[in-house]
Amino acid sequence: NGLGDGMWMWYGRDFQEVNHLLQLHGDESLQQRAEAYKQALSLIIAQRRPSYFLREGSPVLMQMTNHYLKLLGSAHIISPALQRAALSLPLHLNHGPLIPQANSFVSHKAVNLLRNDLLSLLHITNLYALDRIDLNVKTTLDGDAQRAVTNLLRQVQSPAGARAAGLYGHNMLGENDNPQRLSFSFTLFERSSNSNLLRVQTDDLD
- Domain range list for the chain: 3-87, 106-203
Q: How far apart are CA 43 and CA 122, in angstroms?
A: 32
- pLDDT tens sequence across 122-173: 998 888 888 888 888 888 998 889 888 988 888 898 999 999 999 999 889 9
* Amino acid symbol at 161: G
158: alpha, beta or left, given left = phi > 0 and alpha = psi -120 to 50?
Answer: beta
The pLDDT, as a whole number, for residue 90 is 94
Helix, strand, or coil (residue 186): strand
Average pLDDT on 89-96 reads: 82
**Residue 149 CB-density burial (10 A; 0-12 exposed, 13-18 middle, 19+ buried):** buried
Average pLDDT, the chain: 87
Q: How far apart are CA 182 and CA 162, in angstroms?
A: 10
Q: How far apart are CA 167 and CA 81, in angstroms?
A: 62
Q: How far apart are CA 117 and CA 78, in angstroms?
A: 41
pLDDT of 55 higher than 60: yes
Cα 168 to its chain centre, rounded Å, is 39
